Amino acid sequence: MRNEAEPAEDRWGSSRARLVAVVIGAAFTVIVGRSAQVALAGDASTSRPHASREVARRADIVDRKGELLATTLPAYSLSADPSVIWDAGDVARGLASVLPGLDVRDLTKRLSDKDRQFVWVQRGLTPAQRQAVFKLGLEGLHFQEEQVRVYPGGHLAGHLLGFANVDGKGIDGVERVFNTQLAKGGAPLKLTIDSGVQFALESELERATEDFTFKGAAGIVVDASTGAVRAIASWPFIDPNHPGDRTDTAATDRATNSVFELGSIYKPLTVAAAIEAGDLTPQDTFDVTNPIKVGSALIHDEHPFEHSSAFTATDIIAYSSNVGAVQIGQRLGPEKLKAFLDSVGLLDRPSFDGPSSAAPLTPASWDPLTAATVSFGHGIAVSPLSFVMSYVPFANGGDYLQPLFVEPADPAAIKRRRVMSPETAHTVVAMMRQTVLVGTGKNAAAPGYEVAGKTGTAEKPGPDGYDPNANVTSFAAVFPASRPQYVVLVVLDDAQPKTGDRRTAAYTSASIVGRFIARAAPLLDVHPVLQEPVETPIGPAGQPGTRTASESRTL
Amino acid sequence: MKRWWIVGLLLVAGLAVGLYRAKLGARENEDRIAALNTEIRKASEEVSVLKADEAYLSRPERIGPLARERLGLQPAAPEQFTAPEMIARRAGAVPAAATPAPAQGQQPAQ
């Protein structure tokens, strides 16, 4: 029995051993195979979490000199889980102690809703505010890192910059127009604005509120050689850091999105059109003694003039004669006047790479009466930005340019359109210089900077016709007259003096422009022209300095 | 034959270990790169904050009054400008009538 059984045990024992070996071998193979797989390809089940794709940091905005105008900073959003908060009132009061803007009552109500697991408390917290909340040691609070748009200059160029919302999307101004470019991140967007000049312009507009009340104001400075806008402001100012605080009055960008009938600052354009068409010479004279009847309208001047029977175009501009401007307009004719205003961009919405600009309100038909009123700036309403560009040809020898808001100003890319000859431009600038020296623009004088310009006072149109008690006053300037480089325009909406009754442009806008140019010209690298005493030897040879004479020098 | 199998298995095991270590090293390097990138990002953010601080503190609205009140500075008036040649004349270094003699061989400008 035993001898028969032993071979059977051996047989089964050998089979078991093989089975165990196969199992162990298979297990080993699986382990090795899996190890190799994990080592080589990684383990999907235990792979580390990937950081979600980071949103590109929104690009900065800087001025032409690299001064920071808008940047993106890290910030934190604070949220809460009401389901784990024990005492909502205690948490709300604690948070309000370090975040003063919080409404304790509203927050307590929201944190008391135990059915909710997520409520926003406040977004855009600074690292210091986050630390302050941490120190409170309150339950159920969570922070989420995000980005916040900051405008270090406050209201400086606020309307131009616009603002981006909490999600980093441009909503207004440059932030909106260049949103795609800014959202990609990378190099800063460099504007043509000069922070120093912008500040000077805004300061002078603000300072004007000491002397006048006005509903709104706009100011623009343009480099006539390139069309680059060096400053653009709309009063009341807005602070892009707090776009929600804007009033309706402040929200409108009056420099680009409002249109005004600007009055007599059109007269130099009428004169230029007539000279360019060969219908006028500087020596031609006009009798402006009596009002002039055009159709059913009687057009007159505010005050009688000396030598009114022989007014030249220079006198018409310098003393702002409506009657004279109408006569020049009649010589020119409606079609040629319309064509000229069209050539300087006053009849269409401007098209350029920058903030949106309002379309002009132009006459439906160009009959003789319309042409007569347009010749002195009534019956046509344009944005200040459009208008200031119409003066650029005076300052650069006759080329119309589009406004430029982004550097670099590639000279090859600047589109120039010749709208008048250099001689015409020079002649009209010389006429406008007389406005400041002897005419209605004396208050715009800035010693040394040879301001040439034109005043404009236009009654505001209303539902019952023009309102004699409300006007738009403006002053458009070119400086320095002997070698024009810049064009400046200031417009005040319904300016009323705080004392006295002088509310025409001669006393309102002109004085603002004069003060601004005196202050900003050095920032714009415009050197003054002064009467320098120079020792001039006019005595016998070898005896210099016996007399002195004055000599005009460009410094 | 059996020996070759064992050698082969050891070789495969060695290669597997080598690959595993290489993989681990690469992962460690990735972690270091990620840490450095985080550090760079934090530093960039700090630079951004500092630049914003600088821009805020140096805005004309703040600097103007400080320059006036503490340093007595004012915007430059036109009469404060002069041309370089006028400085020499004012100092009396160059007589007003004096004109540089043309260099030898040159004609005076017409």
- The residue extents of the domains of chain B are 25-73
Domain ranges of chain A: 61-191, 199-524, 530-555
> Measured between CB atoms, does A188 come within 8 Å of chain B?
no
CA dihedral A508, A514, A516, A520 (to 10 degrees): 170
Cβ distance of A553 and B56 shorter than 8 Å:
no
Cα–Cα distances (Å) from A457 to A357, A383, A510, B10, in that order, read: 23, 15, 11, 99
Lookup: tokens for A505? 């442009």
- Nearest to A518, CA basis, from A474, A476, A480: A480
Going by their DSSP bridges, the two strands A216-223 and A229-235 should be labelled as antiparallel
- To 5 degrees, how large is the angle CA A447–CA A452–CA A457? 115
Smallest CA–CA distance, residue B71 to chain A, in Å, is 18
Give contacts of B49 with chain A, Cβ < 8 Å: 73-74, 127
Q: How far is CA A340 from CA A240, A273, A287, in A?
A: 39, 6, 25
pLDDT tens digits along B42-96 = 898 889 989 999 999 999 989 989 999 999 998 888 878 887 777 777 777 655 5
Catalytic residue among A77, A234, A264, A321: A264
Which pLDDT does position A41 carry in this prediction? 65
Report CB contact under 8 Å: A150, B52.
yes
Contact: B52, A73; criterion CB under 8 Å: yes
Which of the four CATH numbers 3.90.1310.10, 3.90.1170.50, 3.20.20.70, 3.10.310.10 does domain A61-191 have? 3.90.1310.10
Q: What is the distance, to the nearest Å, from the Cα of residue B100 to the centroid of all Cα atoms in its chain?
A: 45
CATH 3.40.710.10 is right for the domain spanning A199-524? yes
B9 at interface of A, judged by CB pairs closer than 8 A:
no
Q: CA nearest B53 in A: which residue? A: A152
Six-digit token string for B25? 């090293």
Q: Which residues of B touch A450 (CB under 8 A)?
A: none
Residues 6+ apart with CB under 8 A from A481: A429, A430, A432, A433, A450, A451, A452
Return the structure tokens found at A468.
């004699």
- The nearest alpha carbon in chain A to B52 belongs to A152
Q: Tokens standing for A174?
A: 């440059």
Q: Is-contact A337 A390, C-beta < 8 A?
A: no
Contact call for residues A286 and A326 (beta carbons, < 8 A): no
| A34 touches B: beta carbon within 8 Å | no
Q: Reduced to 3 states, what is the DSSP secondary structure of residue A70?
A: strand
What's the confidence (pLDDT) of residue A553? 44
The alpha carbon torsion through A456, A457, A461, A467 (nearest 10 deg) reads 180
Residues in B closer than 8 angstroms to A528, CB to CB, are: 78-79, 81
A41: three-class secondary structure by DSSP: helix
pLDDT value at residue B99:
44
Structure confidence at residue B94 (pLDDT)? 56
B52: left (phi > 0), else alpha (psi -120 to 50), else beta? alpha
Residue A284 makes CB contacts below 8 A (sequence gap 6+) with A312, A313
Which ranges constitute the DSSP H helices of A155-214? 158-161, 173-177, 179-183, 195-208
Q: Which two tokens stand for residue B102?
A: 């043309």
What are the mean pLDDT values of chain A's consecutive 10-residue runs (555 residues total)? 53 78 87 70 48 69 96 91 92 93 92 91 85 90 89 95 91 95 94 96 95 94 96 96 86 93 96 96 95 89 85 96 96 95 93 84 91 93 96 97 88 90 97 96 94 94 83 96 97 89 87 95 89 40 34 42
The pLDDT score that the predictor gives to residue A257 is: 93
Q: Do A448 and B54 touch (CB under 8 A)?
A: no
Interface membership of B83 toward A (CB under 8 Å): yes
Which of A203, A522, A553 faces B83 most closely, judged by CB atoms?
A: A553
pLDDT confidence of residue A56: 79
- Confirm if B19 and A40 have CB atoms less than 8 A apart: yes
**Cα distance from B103 to chain A (closest Cα, Å)?**
23
Number of A to B CB contacts under 8 A, please give it: 99
pLDDT of amino acid A42: 59
Asked if A195 has any chain B CB less than 8 Å from its own CB, the reply is: yes
Which residues, in sequence order, are bridge partners of residue A120? A79
Is the Cβ pair B56, A527 closer than 8 Å? Answer: no
Residue A96: closest CA among A74, A120, A122: A122
A538: tokens are 């006019």
